[in-house]
Amino acid sequence: MTTMTQVTEEVSYLEAISQALDEEMARDERVFLMGEDIGTYGGAFKITEGFLQKYGEWRVVDTPLAESGFVGAAIGAAMMGLRPVVEMQFADFISCAFDQITEVAAKNHYRWGAAVPMVIRAPFGGGVHGGPFHSECPEGWFFHSPGLKLVAPSTPYDAKGLLKASIRDPNPVIYFEHKFLYRRIKSVLPEEDFVVPLGKADVKRAGNDISVITYGAMVHLALEAAQALAKEGIDLEVVDLRTLIPFDKETIYSSVRKTSKAILLHEDNKTGGIGAEIAARLAEDCFDCLDGPILRIAPPDTPVPFSTPLEEFFLPKTSDIIIAARKLAAY
C-alpha cells in the first residue's frame, strides 16, 4: 500500500492522490469510495489498488456503469452524514452525471439547507492519446454552476493537500486530477498530515514581467516557458490557481498589479473558458494597472482529437507561451 512509502522517497502525483484517500479513510470512518471498477481492479488508473482488501466492499463500492446513478447515490449518502468520494473513470463521463451535479448537488443547500459534503474525482486532460472521449477538460461546464467547488492540482503536494481539504469541505467538490501528470510528476511530501486550503492560488514561480495564470498540467508548461524566457531577460510569474471555484482574486490581482501584464493559459477550449472569466475580471478590476492586452492561450474550439499530430496541434505548447510573452514584453 502507498502508506508504506518512506517519507524520504519521492511520491508521484498519482500516489499522492492515493495516499490522501487512504489517510482520509483511515482518519474518518464516514469517508467511503464509489465508482466503476475501483474495487477488485483498483480503478482504471490503479489509484485505489488494495483499498478493497483494506476497507471492504461497503467502503469501496463498485457500482454499475451509471454515473448519474452513483453520483445521485453519493448525494444521498452525503446528506445522511457520510463523506463519499466518487471516481469518474474519465472526466469525460461526468457529462452523464451533469444533471445530478448541477441540479441536485449544487442546489440542495441553497434551496433547502441540506449540505452535500462529497467529492467527485475527475481524471481529466489530454496528451495521453485518449481521443475525444478520454481527454476532455470539462471544468468550464461546472465553473458556471453556483454551489460547486472546483479544484485542479498540479503537483503531488497540492494533489494530496487539496484532496484532503476537499473531503473535509462541507460542499460538493469536483476534483480535477490531470492524467498526464499521474506518473510524470514526483516530489517528496511531508510525513505529517497536511491540507492545502481550498480557494488559495499559489505562485509557483515569482517573476516581475508577466503573470501567467493557469492550472493543472499547464502549470508545468508555463514553468518550462519561464526557464526559456529567463535567458531572454523576460521574467514570468506563474500563478497556479489550484482552486477554480472559489478562485483566489487577491493572489491573481496582486500578481497582475505587480507585473501589469497577464496571460491566461488553459487546456480547456478557449471560448467561454476559465481564462475568459478571469480576463474579464482583470479588465473590470485591474484595468488601470495593465500595460498590455490580456492574452489567452488555449486550444481551439474543437473536440480533443486522437491522432498525434492533431493532438499536438490542439494542445498549448511551450512555444505558444514564449511567443505570447515576447509579444507582451514589447508593450
Partner 1 sequence: MDVVVIAKEIKRDDLLQMHYYLRLTRALEDRITALYRQGRIVGGVYTSHGMEAIAVGYASALEHDDVIAPFHRDMGAFLVRGFTPGEVLAQYLGKRTGPTKGKDGNVHMGDLKRGVFGFVSHLADNLPVAAGAALAFKIRGESRVVFAGTGDGGTSRGDFHEAMNFAAVRKLPVVFFCNNNQYAYSTPLRLQMAIPNVVDRAKAYGMPGDIVDGNDVAAVYLAAKYAIARARAGEGPTFLEFKTMRMHGHSEHDPAKYVPRELLEEWKKNDPILKAEHLLKQLGYGEETYFKEVVERVKKEIETGLEFAEQSPLPDGPEVLQGVFADRADSH
Catalytically active residues, by annotation = 134
Interaction between residue 71 and partner 1 (CB under 8 A) = yes
Q: Cβ–Cβ contacts within 10 Å for residue 331, how many? A: 11
Interaction between residue 128 and partner 1 (CB under 8 A) = no
- Residue of 92, 81, 82 whose CA lies nearest to 61: 82
Interaction between residue 251 and partner 1 (CB under 8 A) = no
For the chain, report the end-to-end CA distance as a whole number of angstroms. 53
Record the cell numbers describing residue 163, joined without a space.
Answer: 484532496
Strand blocks (E) in 126-171: 149-151
- Residue of 112, 65, 113 whose CA lies nearest to 87: 65
Interaction between residue 66 and partner 1 (CB under 8 A) = yes
Point out which span in 106-114, 175-183, 252-260, 305-313 binds partner 1 (CB under 8 A).
Answer: 106-114
Interaction between residue 170 and partner 1 (CB under 8 A) = yes
Point out which span in 72-80, 185-193, 215-223, 323-331 binds partner 1 (CB under 8 A).
Answer: 72-80
CA dihedral 113→175→313→211, nearest 10 degrees, is 80
Interaction between residue 100 and partner 1 (CB under 8 A) = yes
Interaction between residue 147 and partner 1 (CB under 8 A) = yes
Q: Identify the residue among 171, 214, 251, 269 touching partner 1 (CB under 8 A).
A: 171
Q: Cβ–Cβ contacts within 10 Å for residue 183, how many? A: 12
Record the cell numbers describing residue 251, joined without a space.
Answer: 493572489
Least distance from C-beta 108 to partner 1, angstroms?
Answer: 7
Interaction between residue 109 and partner 1 (CB under 8 A) = yes
Chain residues in the site for partner 1 (CB under 8 A): 32, 58-59, 61, 63-64, 66, 68-82, 84, 99-100, 103-104, 107-117, 146-147, 149, 170-171
